Structure 1
Amino acid sequence: MATYLYRIGKFAYRKKAIVLSLWLAALVLAGIGAATLSGPTSESFSIPGTPAQKAQDLMAERFPAAQADDPFNSLSARYVFAAPAGQTLESQQNQAAMDAVIAKIREIPQVKDAAKAGDQAIVNPVVAARNMTDGMVKQAESKGTSVDQAVANAKALEPLSPDQSVGYVTVPFNGGQGDVDDELRSAIDNAAQVGRDAGLTVEVSGNAASTQSPPGGATELVGIGVAAVVLMITFGSLVAAGLPLITAIVGIAIGSMGITIATGFMDLSSMTPTLAIMIGLAVAIDYSLFIVSRYRHELENTDDRAEAAGRAVGTAGSAVVFAGLTVIIALVALRVVGIPFLSDMGAAAAFTVLIAVLIALTLLPAILGLFGTKAFAGKVPFLKSRDAEGDSTKPTRAVRFATFVTRVPAVPLIAGVLLLGLLAIPATSLALSLPNQGTADPATSARKAYDLVNNSFGPGKNGPLMVIVDAKNSSVGPQDAFGQVLSTIDAQSDVANAQIVAVNQAGDTAQVLVTPKSSPSSDSTKDLVQNLRDAESGLNSKIGVSYGVTGQTALENDVSDRLQSALIPYLAVVVGLAFVLLMLVFRSILVPLTATLGFLLSVVATFGATVAIFQEGWLGIISNPQPIVSFMPIFLIGVVFGLAMDYQVFLVSRMREEYMKGATAKEAVVAGFNHGARVVTAAAIIMMSVFAAFMAEPDSFIKAMGFALAAAVFFDAFVVRMVIIPSVMALLGDKAWWLPAWLDRILPNVDIEGQKLESAPVDLEKKELVPVS
């Protein structure tokens, strides 16, 4: 591989005009595509094959007219009104204030026509509650059913609290979440302000009223700024510091615009481009840093800059390829989980990593050719321009540290493992949930609206369950079947109310709204979902009726189950493929094994730190501690594994390079550490800074992911790869590089250290290497 990459690097350096033109054309085409082919992002949530999704699919099939009003994916806003202290909403003054708000709401163009006039027109909560009770009582009287039960059902559904102090109205909007813009948000808030000016408390929740600003922007600039400082310190040159930043910006621009183009052909979450940019920016800077650093090192050995560029790409570029492949494998393998939006996040991030690798191998050497002898110009005052990977006449800090670690390797090994083990302890209390209004910042209107409903109506009002009853094959007739299902539901201890809210035209399918006594994320509601599902098989065998349970809690349960069942297959795929790649890179069994075990230490310590900060609220960094987003752990595992292998490849490949040149095992560890530690340190600080900058994002998932990735890089780079791995390598000695003879024969030699480049004869006429086959 080194010889092929050598040719690519040398070609890109010499034919810089061609390479630069091609990448410029790609950038322009991506920009045109993003401007003309993009579509809206989507926050729709579906997990094919789960019980909750099957229930939603059945509802869409049997109630097609109601599909547009899907409570999980449709666009809506809920206005929650609270009367002044000591008053109720029933007073004429407060009803007039609510009517004024509703009149303002009807002026919003996106509000559905049915909500503006007719039987489904929105009215204030007092009128809506009165109409609902009267209607249900009249219906019970006409059918000869229990009036008391009708009143109880009405009370369970009506949008007015028992003490008449709090009420709400739900406003449906045309379009999807991609249609929400600042103009709509402003119109929604202006309507609420009418009620506030009249003395009411008015809070607004719902996806149409989301005030969350679009992700991205300043956070990337912060990460790039810190990266620029680290690069200047590393190279002592303004020009050299700018080269990785230029390539990273080009790569992120092409990657993000490619994802924007994809939104025109598929549904992507708004978080997808943010995560892709976060990961792509970090690896793009690091990959270019490694090649520029190696280029600077090769200039110490040759005056031919094209030759130095070829050798840099042939050696450091090989490490970039394999490091990038491990990240890509980890991200693409998220498809194993079977959650579409998670797969899309992984694929988008993998795309940006692929672009980063291609740019580092081709665009970077072309830019080096463009700058020529000025590549390390612009000396930074008070900073010495030096070869970050070179040997020194006197022992460096890296040499002294590596010598200390390898002298008594058991001590730093035990210390490192104990440190990460202690950090992992909080992970034992890990709690998972999906993002919802109940986990929002208490200062937001959405959270205030949630709390008003929770305190005035009961916790179950914020997270009702929907049971879709299919009596098509019932042996006792639909009405009797519906009744038996209702009786089964009512028998559960955590049910506050259960009632049929719709029957399809054929009369064989019913929607049963179940209001729990407990909150959506509570264990009691989760147990209720499971108990209802467990009871279904008995009714099915008895009378042939079947049903499915959906709703927020049901979705959370299904996500947890899906993630739990997919974790082992996912790890098997990721670790298995990466293990094979690392065997190819290092031609060893124990090195990949120790690399994987080190990753496990990094990831459990990361989980512990994330739980401590974001869930338990340690150090007071987070004002609103909440359970961790349920799909973050598996996504984090994938990304951290890929990044962990980056530093393993970059650092240990230099150790192997020294070992293959004849150094003893311990000498190779010290020499390889000396060559790679400075650059790996700079790369880790850059990556940490890029990730940590995303903690400024308002989205809780992005905020937690930024912290977790920054922590993971710190633990992996500075504890695992720079303390534990050198200690293990010193303890193993020559055994670290052992490979069974039969396996050595069948594994292809990828030559990541560039041995063929070292031994290749030189064609004096062309002044270039003649690669040895």
Structure 2
Amino acid sequence: MAELLYRLGTFAARRGWVVIGSWIAVLAIAAGGFLIGFKGLATSFDIPGTASGEVIAELEEQLPDFAGASGTVVFETEDGEAFTEAQKDAIGALVDDADGLPDVSGVVDPFDTEAERAEQAAKLADGRTQIADGEAQLDAGQAQLDAGLAQLDDAQAQLDAGREQATAAGFPTDELDAQQAALDAQREAVAGQQAELDDARAELETQQQRLDDGAELLGFADGIRMVSEDGSAALVNVAFTEPRLELEQASKDAVIDHFESEPIDGVTVSFSTDIAQGVPKIIGVGEVVGVAFAAVVLLVMLGSIIAAALPIVTALVGVAIGALGALAFSGVVQMASVTPILGVMLGLAVGIDYSLFIINRHRKQLLEGAEPIESIGLANGTAGNAVVFAGTTVIVALLALNVTGVPFLGLMGTVGAISVLIAVLIAVTMTPAILGLLGIRVLGKRARARIGQVHHEDAKAKPMRTWRAIGTVLVSAAALLAIAVPALDMRVGLPDGSSEPADSASYRAFMTTEESFGAGANGPLLVTASLPSGLDDDAVDAAQLEVARTLSEQPDVTAVAPIAVSEDGELAAFQVIPAEGPNAASTDALVRELRELPAIDGDIELGVAGQAAINIDISENLLDVLPLYLAVVVGISLLIMILVFRSILVPLIATGGFVLSLFATYGAVVALFQFGWGADALGIHTGPILSFLPVILVGILFGLAMDYQLFLATGMREAYVHGAPARLAVARGFRAGRSVVIAAGLIMISVFGGFVFAESTMIRSIGFGLAFGVLVDAFVVRMLLMPALMHLLGRSAWWIPKWLDRILPDVDVEGAALERRHHATPAA
């Protein structure tokens, strides 16, 4: 590999414009692909096979109107007073005109809904009055029948007495028989009237039961309001025909544009995250500042504006190709909005670093008097070889995200891996090409004056003292473990409106809804009930009531409302309002409790969906795959480093240090984004940790940690192989690689740190996690803990079983064999 890269470097140096032109052509192709293939990005996430996914699939089949995405438009009066009639009419007009918007299946007028609620309550009251009146009439009729029956009993008694006297006297009873027949007829008429009265009373009791059931259902739904109690806020529900993952951004933008098209005097409008959460900007002010800081670091290290600009230029070209190329496939695969941004993060950071490693090696050789073209080839074969190997570790770690079985996470890893691959290819081709065009100008004027004045830094290196190494190990490990403590309380989830910037429409909508309608209104649950087949209408109503009763009895449920029944009567849907918001621990517990409920009446099974339940399912699944992914990455790291360093203990040290820095990063992320320590200064709203962040951090930080391990430990191994005592080799290798690792670490931190100031909460947490992870891994683990442990291990650090040493291939990451074959000849 080293020899191939040497030849590639010399070719690129001699054919600079050809190589640069080729990359410009690739960039143009990527741009053309973007213009043709870009179809928009998804702002939500999904994992197939989840419990909520199964419920949604059932809804799509039997109740399709409730399977699509939905969102809320929030209206609020500016003075806090109730809406005027004119304001209500204006809102109603906007609602009426919204039905024709793309992908919109229905829009609910809040004032009509509240009027219907009041009408239902009035009907219930009228029904109770009518039933009371009917009962009074029935009671009066029963009294009349009872009085008539008493009269008939008296007449019968008199008739019986007369018959007894007539029979005793021997008189004929024909007249008495006629009277008995008339009396029997009257008694039969009374019995008929009694039957009619009993039927009427039974019907009245049935109506009373229905009325009671309706009142009970209405009482369960009492906490679901569309207009606040004080009349100052109203919620307009917007339902879409497409599922949330398939809903185009243009459709959501159309809703926003429509409801903002005609401002209403004295009324503000805002939108829930389901509507307002758009695709975050790929590059913002924070990212520009981060790159500017990286430029300062490069300028300080390289001492030349031209040399400092080179890594940034090549990195930007790589980022442009990677981002445009990824977006070109957005019409083919479902791509989350954060996916290309992750590629930009990685492309910028590693693109600058990898180019820096080659430029730094080339500059050192020039200062020793090497001929430029030969020096470029040698730098590409040595430092470039290390870049290829380091980039490969990052690529492997990112591609391993596909083992999680989570499609959007695997795609993120794949896009990130491609971005890193492009950065590697540009580093070993375009960087040598530009260096060839620059020639000796890559050195500043002061540096050119020192050409040929070789300084042997190794001579100044001395082993650290053992007591200092012990102290460094103890203090570093203790500090990392202390920072990791908050990670024990990590809660994962997906961001809701409360975590958005305070001046955003999503945050205003979330807070207005919480203050005016209760926290649970921001995260309603959609509960389905599978009913037995063959039920008539009355039985379906009874089953709905029984389900509603069961749901309302659960803790942390504030309201329940039946919203639909399928045409075959076998699936009923209910809206359930929890006591707290979608990311609250109580809502999480409620979803689990509802899913664990036994079948109602023995045969009615419940399912739970809704945005809160979907977020819980996604977070739980991602947390479940974290141990598997961590095991895969750690296993890969051990194998790669055993191959590179031909040692058993060095890989164990490197891997153990990575695990420490990883959990310290988790702790810092939890402290800032969940506990809120220092969040106010950055304008961050606290909440659960982004559900896929822990997994993403494993892959990316592992790859970057191996980069720094590689550039430090290979120098140590090289010094040891060349005969230096083990502890002196540690000092020499550290001294040789520290400057470039410090610069690379600062560049990574500045680039990732720039994303902390992005508008999207997701991007903020990813940027902070990566920046902090690089900080502790590069400056604590690789530059403090690892050298100290290597010092304490001494020669045993490089021990490897002889049988394993024989079968391992010699990868020669630093290109030592290449240096022996190609000496950088002095310039004429």
TM range (shorter): 0.7 to 0.9
SS at 2:817 equivalent: helix
The answer as to whether partners of 1:82 and 1:167 remain within 8 angstroms in 2 is: no
Distance 2:458 2:405 in 1: 56
The structure 2 residue matched to 1:375, chosen from 442, 452, 457, is 442
Quote how far apart the aligned CAs of 1:598 are.
0.7
The CA distance in 2 between the partners of 1:166 and 1:408, in whole Å, is: 65
Q: 1:388 to 1:682 in 2, by over 3 A?
A: farther
**How far does residue 519 in structure 1 lie from its aligned partner after superposition?**
2.9
User: Size of the alignment, in residue pairs?
Assistant: 736
- The answer to whether the 8 A contact 2:368-2:452 is kept is no
CA displacement 1:485-523 (0-9 Å, x = unmatched): 444323323222333211122221121222223332222
Equivalences for 1:35-184 in 2 at 5 Å?
A: 35-67=35-67, 69-71=68-70, 76-82=71-77, 84-85=79-80, 87-89=81-83, 94-104=84-94, 111=101, 122-123=108-109, 125-134=110-119, 144-145=210-211, 146-153=213-220, 155-172=222-239, 176-179=247-250
Tell me, what secondary structure is at the counterpart of 1:441? coil
Cα distance, 1:378–1:558 mapped onto 2, change above 3 Å: farther
When structure 1 is superposed on structure 2, of 287-296 and 9-18 the one drifting more is: 9-18
Judged with a 3 Å threshold, the aligned counterparts in structure 2 of structure 1 residues 753 and 527 are, in CA distance, closer, same or farther, namely: same
Partner SS for 1:53: helix
TM (norm. structure 2) is 0.82
Counterparts of 1:154-233 in structure 2 under 5 Å?
A: 155-172=222-239, 176-179=247-250, 185=256, 187-191=258-262, 193-194=263-264, 197=265, 199-200=266-267, 202-210=269-277, 214-233=281-300
Q: Distance in 2 between matches of 1:121 and 1:331?
A: 43
Partner of 1:362: 429
Report if aligned partners of 1:252, 1:281 keep a CA contact under 8 Å in 2.
Answer: yes
> In 1, Cα distance between the equivalents of 2:708 and 2:436?
27
Q: Report Cα offsets for 1:247-306 as digits up to 9, x if no partner.
A: 111111111111111212122122222221012100000011011111222335563333
Q: Which of residues 261, 274, 280 in structure 1 aligns to 2:328?
A: 261
Specify the alignment match of 2:194 in structure 1: none
Alignment of 1:232-311 (within 5 A): 232-300=299-367, 303-311=370-378
Normalized against structure 1, the TM-score is what? 0.87
Q: Tell me, what secondary structure is at the counterpart of 1:656?
A: helix
Change (3 A) 1:387 1:82: farther
Instruction: Decide whether the 8 Å contact of 1:133 with 1:151 is kept in 2.
Output: no
**What is the percentage of aligned positions where both structures have the same residue?**
39
Residues 331 and 349 in structure 1, CA contact (< 8 A), matched pair in contact too:
yes
The answer for the alignment partner of 2:661 in structure 1 is 602
The letter of the residue matching 2:802 is: A
Q: 5+ unaligned residues in a row in structure 1: which ranges?
A: 768-773
Matched, 1:466 2:526: yes
Note closer, same or farther for the CA distance 1:391–1:35 as it changes in structure 2 (3 Å cut): farther
Q: How far apart in 1 are the matches of 2:238 and 2:292?
A: 44
Choose the corresponding residue for 2:706, options 645, 661, 676.
645
Question: How do residues 284-363 of structure 1 correspond to structure 2 at under 5 angstroms?
Answer: 284-300=351-367, 303-363=370-430
CA distance in 2, matches of 1:532, 1:185: 34
- Change in 2 beyond 3 A, CA 1:107/1:403: farther
User: In structure 2, the residue corresponding to 1:750 is in which secondary structure?
Assistant: coil
The 1:303/1:426 distance shift into structure 2, 3 A limit, reads same
In the alignment, structure 1 residue 435 sits paired with structure 2 residue 425: no
**Corresponding letter in the other structure for 2:506:** A
Matched, 1:511 2:505: no
Whole-Å Cα distance in 2 between the matches of residues 208 and 367 of structure 1? 47
**Mapped pair 1:738 → 2:803:** no
- Cα 1:475–1:6 change in 2 (3 A) is farther
Structure 1 residue 431 displacement after superposition: 2.9
Query: 1:406 deviation in Å?
Result: 6.1
Q: CA deviation at 1:330?
A: 2.1
Task: Name which of structure 1's ranges 567-576 and 280-289 shifts more when overlaid on structure 2.
Answer: 567-576
Cα deviation, 1:82-125, whole Å, max 9, x if unaligned, reads: 4845x434xxxx1321322343565679736987xxxx6643x3
Q: Separation in 2 of the partners of 1:242 and 1:524?
A: 53
Matched to 1:344, the amino acid is L
- Mapped partners of 2:337, 2:708: distance in 1: 30
**C-alpha RMSD of the superposition:** 3.3
The alpha-carbon deviation at position 184 of structure 1 amounts to 6.4
C-alpha deviations, 1:231-257, integer Å up to 9, x for none?
121111222212211211111111111
Aligned to 1:221, what secondary structure does the other structure show?
helix
Q: Do the aligned residues in 1 keep the contact of 2:276 with 2:505 (CA within 8 Å)?
A: no
Say which of 481, 500, 511 aligns to 1:451: 511
Change (3 A) 1:745 1:707: same
Q: Which amino acid letter does the alignment assign opposite residue 44 of structure 1?
A: S
Q: Deviations over 1:330-388 (max 9, x none)?
A: 222222333322222222111111110111112211222222233325669xx997899
Question: Which SS does the other structure have where 2:642 is aligned?
Answer: helix
- The answer to whether structure 1 residue 760 and structure 2 residue 755 are counterparts is no
Matching of residue 694 in structure 1 with residue 765 in structure 2: no
Alpha-carbon distance between aligned partners in 2 of 1:390 and 1:510, rounded to the nearest angstrom: 81
Contact 1:236 1:385 (8 Å CA) reproduced: no
CA contact 2:279–2:337 (8 Å) conserved in 1: no
Cα distance in 1 between the residues matched to 2:806 and 2:659? 30
SS of 1:155 mapped into structure 2: coil
1:496 maps to 2:558: yes
Letter in 1 for 2:351: A
Match of 1:408, SS?
helix
**Stretch of structure 1 that moved more, 14-23 or 548-557:** 14-23
Distance change (3 Å), C-alpha of 1:258 and 1:121? closer
- For 1:100, give the aligned amino acid: A
| Alignment check: 8 A CA contact 2:43 2:277 kept | no
Q: 1:487 to 1:733 in 2, by over 3 A?
A: same
Tell me the SS of whatever aligns to 1:706: helix
- Give 1:496-575 correspondences, 5 Å limit: 496-536=558-598, 538=599, 543-575=602-634
What code does the residue aligned with 1:155 have?
A: D
Residue 389 of structure 1: how far off its partner (Å): 11
Q: CA deviation at 1:467?
A: 1.4
Cα offsets for 1:209-252 (capped at 9, x unmatched)? 44886341433322222222211211112222122112111111
Contact 1:81 1:166 in 2 (8 A): yes
Change (3 A) 1:385 1:329: farther
SS for the counterpart of 2:682 is coil
User: In structure 2, the residue corresponding to 1:502 is in which secondary structure?
Assistant: strand
Once the two structures are overlaid, the 10-residue window that deviates more, 327-336 or 487-496, is 487-496
Separation (CA, whole Å) in 2 of partners of 1:703 and 1:387: 47
SS in 1 for 2:215: helix
Q: Does structure 1 conserve the Cα–Cα contact (< 8 Å) formed by 2:104 and 2:241?
A: no
Deviation string 1:425-476 (CA, Å, 9 cap, x unpaired) is 3333333221111333344343233233223323222211111223367999
Amino acid corresponding to residue 748 of structure 1 in structure 2: P
C-alpha spacing 1:390/1:680, structure 2 compared with 1 (3 Å):
farther
508-517 vs 58-67, greater mean Cα deviation: 58-67
One-letter code of the match for 1:669? V
Deviates more, 1:357-366 or 1:331-340: 331-340
Decide whether aligned partners of structure 1 residues 507 and 526 sit closer, same or farther in structure 2, where only a CA change above 3 A counts. same
List aligned pairs for 1:578-727, cutoff 5 A: 578-619=637-678, 620-623=680-683, 624-727=685-788
Cα distance in 2, alignment partners of residues 516 and 14 from structure 1: 69
Distance in structure 1 (CA, Å) of the matches to 2:280 and 2:793: 52
For structure 1, which segment, 322-331 or 162-171, has the greater mean C-alpha deviation from structure 2 after superposition? 162-171
Amino acid at match of 1:655: M
Which among 478, 489, 494 is matched to residue 418 of structure 1? Answer: 478
Say whether 1:391 aligns with 2:453.
Answer: no
Shift of 1:712: 1.3
Distance 1:706 1:180, change over 3 A: farther
Secondary structure at 1:299 match in 2: helix
